[in-house]
Amino acid sequence: MLKRVLIANRGEIALRIQRACRLLGIESVQIHSQADRAAPYVRTADHALCIGPAQASESYLHARRIVEAARLMEADAIHPGYGFLSENASFADAVEEAGLVFVGPSGDAIRTMGDKIAAKAAMKAAGVPCVPGGEGAIDDEAQALRLAEAVGYPVILKAAGGGGGRGMRVVRAPADMSEALATTREEAARAFGNPAVYLEKFLQAPRHVEIQVLADEHGNAVWLGDRDCSLQRRHQKVVEEAPAPGIDRALVADIGERCAAACRAMAYRGAGTFEFLYEDGRFYFIEMNTRVQVEHPVTECVTGIDIVAWQLRIAGGERLSFAQGDVRPVGHAIECRINAEDGFTFVPGPGRIERWHVPGGPGIRVDTHVESGYVVPPNYDSMIGKIIASGSSRQEAIARMRAALDEAVVDGIAVNLPLHREIMADDGFAEGGVGIHYLEHWLERRRHGG
Ligand code: ADP
């Protein structure tokens, strides 16, 4: 069992990790930037240490300083949370080289999954279905044209090292290939330091459905059900839910089993998420996230399994204490991401929160680091919390979410509560199973008063 864990993150996930530490009797060391020194979770941690100025590159992204802080504070492990250094293979290596435990998979596993060509190859080998396309990087235009012809237009060119929805270009006709290939390559080299580009079929109106996994270092791996995260804007998830509505459970189970098998085949360790596009009754792997995700609470709500506590237990060498047959998701859960931004223009609105009232009642969970008087710094991601509603059915979860959103009060800054209230009242959302372009189209119609 770990004794003292350094939390290399901020905001709601820092508090979430702190809570898991407390539950397990592990001491927490909260590092923070100067901008976060007054944050409530800095006060509540067992130990806190300021490691640099507000700028992330000088604090939360400063790998060497973080490892030094862990040594200085005599932590035995580092939990990276999500974002920042959580999927940085060299950081994971540096942590292990310093004799500390990285709460996550090995640097090599992160490296493989961070290269989308390698990740796809690994998934294919493990029997996980992928989007039809080439096996490796594109060498030249002629090859790209041949491949595109084989899978059928439209196709999408993607940077192997891409992330955050960048480094992708849709090609609708052969005449556009040459320029698209050159631009994507150039962008890939510049933004990700890796010019490798691959090609796959562009799915027209898929859903985003993902599988949560947990794997220990003793060869055990389980999948914890699925999540639907199709409500997105600019590839940023806005609302997530578990399970994905209207998908044949036998099909989900087949995919879930394959994901767990892939973990065993890779000797994967920790929590992870296999992301898929789902269209016309089929799943297509797009990428794996080798860390805890923002939307993990919906899975916790329907399975009763504490994912963050298990990350820590697995990092401490424990075996999973349950088998696949013990994972039985019950009911439905929905998460709304609360952002400090205008809900419709998406303009960020940092500043002081004058009043913060958190909703409650049956089936409501709020994960947030914010309180009245908290100042949202302008330096980081705009997410200030998550409201999670669960119920015995999807309908009940939606009804509870509506009530919770009505009850929530945030004064002093712009927040996207009005957007969530409208989404929860939308007929298309209520029906379930909308695609990844639904929200953008909906926002477009709304802008034009339609
Ligand atoms: P990133 O690592 O940048 O998030 P992903 O591979 O996860 O990149 O893709 C991000 C998003 O791009 C997906 O959620 C989906 O909306 C879109 N996308 C990616 N590949 C395809 C595809 N083959 N067909 C249609 N849309 C795609």
pLDDT of amino acid 163: 83
Candidate from 151, 168, 204, 236 with most ligand 1 atoms within 8 A of CB, to mutate: 168
For the CA of 116, the nearest atom of ligand 1: 6
Report CA(64)–ligand 1 centroid distance (Å). 32
Q: Which burial class, exposed, middle or buried, applies to 423 when counting CB atoms under 10 A from its CB (0-12, 13-18, 19+)? A: buried
Tokens of 339: 């952002």
Q: Is 305 in the pocket of ligand 1 (CB under 6 A)?
A: no
Tokens of 318: 């424990």
For the CA of 200, the nearest atom of ligand 1: 23
> Stretch 13-27: mean pLDDT, rounded?
98
291 is catalytic: yes
pLDDT of amino acid 32: 98
Q: Is 202 in the pocket of ligand 1 (CB under 6 A)?
A: yes
Tokens of 57: 């590159």
> Stretch 205-219: mean pLDDT, rounded?
98
Report CA(271)–ligand 1 centroid distance (Å). 21
Q: Is 87 in the pocket of ligand 1 (CB under 6 A)?
A: no
- Has residue 66 got a pLDDT over 90? yes
Phi, psi of 294 (to 5 degrees): -50, -40
Give the percent of the chain with pLDDT over 70: 100
Q: Is 268 in the pocket of ligand 1 (CB under 6 A)?
A: no
Bridge partners (DSSP) of residue 211 are: 226, 274
Q: Is 275 in the pocket of ligand 1 (CB under 6 A)?
A: yes
- Has residue 434 got a pLDDT over 70? yes
Model confidence, pTM: 0.97
pLDDT, one tens digit per residue, over 135-161 is 899 999 999 999 999 999 999 999 999
pLDDT, one tens digit per residue, over 385-406 is 999 999 999 999 999 999 999 9
Give the percent of the chain with pLDDT over 90: 97
pLDDT of amino acid 279: 97
- Which are the contacts of 432, defined by CB distance < 8 A and separation ≥ 6? 245, 246, 394
Q: Is 133 in the pocket of ligand 1 (CB under 6 A)?
A: no
Q: Is 169 in the pocket of ligand 1 (CB under 6 A)?
A: no
- Which are the contacts of 27, defined by CB distance < 8 A and separation ≥ 6? 3, 4, 5, 21, 46, 47
- Has residue 215 got a pLDDT over 80? yes
pLDDT, one tens digit per residue, over 345-394 is 999 999 999 999 999 999 999 999 999 999 999 999 999 999 999 999 99
Q: Is 394 in the pocket of ligand 1 (CB under 6 A)?
A: no
- Has residue 254 got a pLDDT over 80? yes
- Which of 235-268 are b and which e, b meaning 16 or more Cβ less than 10 Å from the residue's Cβ? ebbbbbbbbbeebeeeebeebbebbbebbeebeb
pLDDT of amino acid 374: 98
Q: Is 74 left (phi over 0), alpha (psi -120 to 50) or beta?
A: left
For the CA of 436, the nearest atom of ligand 1: 16
Bridge partners (DSSP) of residue 289 are: 273
**Residues 10, 185, 269, 291: which is the catalytic one?**
291
- Has residue 101 got a pLDDT over 80? yes
Least confident residue range of 55-69, 128-142, 401-415: 128-142
pLDDT of amino acid 235: 87
4-7 vs 77-79, strand pairing mode: parallel
Report CA(377)–ligand 1 centroid distance (Å). 30
Q: Is 210 in the pocket of ligand 1 (CB under 6 A)?
A: no
For the CA of 275, the nearest atom of ligand 1: 7
- CA neighbor of 342 nearest in space, from 330, 354, 351, 334: 351
- Has residue 166 got a pLDDT over 90? no
Distance, in Å, from the CA atom of 270 to the CA atom of 263, rounded to the nearest integer, reads 10
Amino acid at the residue 241: E
pLDDT of amino acid 450: 64
> Stretch 18-38: mean pLDDT, rounded?
98
pLDDT, one tens digit per residue, over 284-338 is 999 999 999 999 999 999 999 999 999 999 999 999 999 999 999 999 999 999 9
Candidate from 202, 234, 235 with most ligand 1 atoms within 8 A of CB, to mutate: 235
Report CA(200)–ligand 1 centroid distance (Å). 10
